[in-house]
Amino acid sequence: MGNPIGEQTIAFGNPPIIVGFGNIVGPKEGEGLLKEYYDEILEDSLWGEETWEKAESKILNTAINSAIDNAEIVKNDIRYIFAGDLLNQLIASTFAIRDLEKPFFGLYGACSTMGESLILASMAVEGGFADYCVAATSSHFCGAEKQFRYPLEFGNQRPLTATWTVTGSGAVVVGNKGNGPKITHVTPGKIVDLGIKDTMNMGAAMAPAAVDTLVTHFKDTGRNPDDYDLIATGDLGMVGKELVVELVAKEGYNLGANYTDCGVEIFDSKKQDTHAGGSGCGCSAVTLTGYILKEMAKGTFNRILFVPTGALLSPSSSFQGESIPGIAHAVVIENI
């Protein structure tokens, strides 16, 4: 039975198990720093589809099926699917999940969605509501640019604070039996908004939410940053990561060499022209299901804190003068 601790955290008495996971990425990600960790690397971003949106659905569907295969279960063992993406009305997820014929909870936490889906899948399993659930998310550079910024054909310049939306999808099967690392704690995050309005600097907009969730997690659990082999925030990129280190220190916690950000790890920013780093729901999802969980399987890391971050804006909210609220959800994964 889940045990609420502190302000926001849940400590799972019977920790759900990550019994399988899978991912797939686009060509640019396949040339990045974590290329050896992906299950599949696409040769082109359309993957035989007519539109980027349809390609994203195919990518997400493939990642989910890959995670189910990796878990050595069959589709019918899955009870519920928790997933979301960046496209308006979650069409990447809807059309990805349509043919899976399983109950679907559509989620939107911007780029924090991998955290949101893992938390809810864990709650469903630990609460006794399901034996196996899928948690998944995706993003696609071309679809995201078109929807949130400019048409690709326009060729806009990007400031150095901008990040590059990852094309890719990661999926996890969470179960109540089987082998794998366990989800022992979760700290769902609240919306934090310090008034930043620069849509080309999402790292700065999301950093305060990451700080809030990290500090709340440390207080709720009585743990310190050095209790973790790895702390990985979602997709703050280089600008946001530096802010997090600074702001967490002001709260009395020192993030050391064990702290990184998925957006910093994923691309070779200098060679790949990705400026401040990677972003998008897929960024933390493929880094988790690639680098992090594969290194956990080797024993490189045994206790990690995964904190995907999201910027809860829309083009309409920015046009209407609103600032950019952030959110971050924390998930502890342990080899126990």
Q: Which residues bind a second copy (CB under 8 A)?
A: 1-4, 8, 10, 50-51, 53-54, 79-80, 84, 87-91, 94-95, 97-98, 101-110, 116, 119-120, 123-124, 126-131, 147, 188-191, 193, 312-317, 320, 322, 325, 327
| Planar angle of CA 118, 109, 160, nearest 5 degrees | 115
**How far is residue 162 CA from its own chain's centroid?**
18
90's tokens: 């979650």
To a second copy, the closest distance from the beta carbon of 109 in angstroms equals: 5
Q: Which is nearer to a second copy, 114 or 312 (CB)?
A: 312
| Nearest-approach distance from CB 281 to a second copy, in angstroms | 12
Please name which of 166, 139, 150 lies closest in space to residue 55, comparing C-alpha atoms. Answer: 139
Q: Closest distance between a second copy and the C-beta of residue 183, in Å?
A: 13
* CB nearer to a second copy: pick between 147 and 258: 147
CB 128, min distance to a second copy, A:
5
Query: Who's near 267: CB < 8 A, 6+ residues apart?
Result: 28, 29, 32, 33, 164, 274, 277, 278
Smallest separation, CB 10 to a second copy (Å):
5
Going from the C-alpha of 96 to that of each of 51, 83, 99, 317, the distances in angstroms are 14, 10, 7, 28
Phi, psi (deg, nearest 5) at residue 83: -155, 160
Nearest-angstrom CA–CA distance, 163 and 274: 6
The rounded distance, in Å, linking the Cα atoms of 325 and 209 is: 8
Q: Which is nearer to a second copy, 272 or 317 (CB)?
A: 317
Looking at beta carbons only, is 37 or 148 nearer to a second copy?
Answer: 148
Shortest distance in whole angstroms from residue 333 CB to a second copy: 18
* CA distances from residue 253 to 11, 227, 234, 236 in whole angstroms, order as listed: 21, 12, 19, 19
Shortest Cβ distance from residue 282 to a second copy (Å)? 16
Residue 225 · residue 231 · CB < 8 Å: yes
29 versus 116: smaller Cβ distance to a second copy: 116
**Which of 70, 107, 59 is closest to 86 using CA atoms?**
107
By three-state DSSP, how is residue 332 classified?
A: strand
Of 34 and 92, CB closest to a second copy:
92
CA separation for the pair 217, 332 (Å, rounded): 10
Residue with Cβ nearer a second copy (25 or 107): 107
> Hey, how many other C-beta atoms are within 10 angstroms of the C-beta on 321?
7
**DSSP labels for 11-22?**
EESS--EEEEEE
Name which of 290 and 308 has its Cβ closer to a second copy.
308
Least distance from a second copy to the Cβ atom of residue 26, Å: 19
